[in-house]
């Protein structure tokens, strides 16, 4: 039963668009931080942010810390709502 729902979910374009957006946001933030002067200089400001700006190896952790609390619940709600609506529509 779970496999059937997973297959239905993966066939929908909305699922792939949501996954694409969740992956594009951290990339966009990284590009903006690299191109612009928005963040503090390395060595100044909060320790974690200056470490992220000084060395890119910590960026995935920072991106997860920013994206997960904000966008993951929205993505889960959209997918769950679509699953419930699809079941109600098909009877």
Q: Taking the complete model, does pTM exceed 0.75, yes or no?
A: no
* Residue range 18-48, pLDDT digits in tens: 888 878 887 887 787 778 776 666 667 677 7
Mean pLDDT of 9-20: 85
pLDDT of residue 76: 84
Nearest to 23 by CA among 74, 64, 82, 69: 64
* Residue range 49-87, pLDDT digits in tens: 777 777 777 787 877 777 778 888 888 888 788 778 877
pLDDT of residue 55: 74
Return the number of other C-beta atoms located less than 10 Å from residue 5's C-beta.
12
Q: Is 79 exposed, middle or buried (0-12, 13-18, 19+ CB in 10 A)?
A: middle
């Amino acid at each position: 039963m779970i496999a059937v729902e997973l297959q239905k979910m993966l066939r929908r374009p909305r699922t792939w668009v949501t996954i694409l957006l969740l992956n594009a946001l951290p990339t966009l933030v990284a590009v903006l931080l690299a191109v612009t002067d928005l963040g503090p200089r390395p060595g100044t400001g909060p320790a974690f942010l200056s470490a992220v700006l000084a060395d890119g190896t910590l960026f995935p952790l920072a991106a997860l810390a920013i994206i997960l609390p904000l966008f993951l619940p929205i993505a889960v709600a959209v997918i769950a709502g679509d699953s419930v609506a699809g079941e109600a529509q098909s009877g």
